[in-house]
């Protein structure tokens, strides 16, 4: 029988796979990281446009470890304007790479899309809350009563969020 934390990951995985909007949203996040991580020059453009101290990871999104997605979504959610600026700069400076220019243009449009912006806020909130519960459930000394309360808290959170 899988542990509760693993079951929570599987539930989120199934939830995101059944939603066209979630697939599109995480595809956009993945495309942003892939575009910038293809070269150190592009990564530098991204970092130069972000406020000092912003942490980004070059790791691709995981299909099974959903709590790790918060690390990918959070910087983009809170630095959307800066990521958009980096994409615009990449669009203007990558004259030798038409594919990069096209990708940057497409991603700028995606980041300006209302549905993407709302999805970013919603997914960040959901992932942040689930990550807190998941971390608690992975502690060495976990009490069944506390675990049940956390799971009930997740259910309540989703009901209120709707």
pLDDT one-digit tens code per residue, 93-122: 988 899 999 999 999 999 999 999 999 998
- pLDDT category at 57 given cuts 50, 70, 90 is low
Counting the structural domains of the chain, the total is 1
In the DSSP assignment, the letter for residue 109 is H
Q: What pLDDT is stored for residue 99 in this prediction?
A: 94
Percent of the chain with pLDDT over 90: 37
CA distance 54 to 43: 13
Structural domain containing residue 141: 4-161
Contact 112, 48 (CB under 8 A): no
Per-chain mean pLDDT for the chain? 83
pLDDT-derived band at 1 (thresholds 50, 70, 90) equals very low
């Amino acid at each position: 029988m899988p542990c509760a934390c693993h079951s929570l990951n599987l539930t989120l995985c199934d939830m995101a796979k059944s939603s066209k909007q979630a697939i599109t949203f995480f595809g956009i996040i993945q495309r942003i990281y892939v575009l910038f991580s293809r070269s150190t020059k592009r990564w530098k453009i991204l970092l130069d446009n972000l406020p000092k101290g912003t942490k980004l990871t070059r790791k691709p999104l995981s299909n099974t470890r959903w709590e790790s997605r918060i690390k990918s979504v959070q910087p983009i959610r809170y630095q959307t304007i800066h990521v958009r600026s980096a994409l615009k700069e990449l669009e203007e400076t990558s004259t030798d790479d038409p594919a990069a220019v096209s990708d940057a243009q497409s991603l700028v449009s995606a980041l300006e899309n209302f549905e993407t912006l709302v999805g970013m806020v919603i997914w960040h909130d959901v992932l942040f809350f689930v990550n807190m519960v998941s971390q608690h459930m992975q502690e060495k000394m976990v009490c069944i009563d506390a675990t049940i309360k956390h799971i009930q808290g997740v259910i309540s959170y989703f009901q209120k969020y709707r």
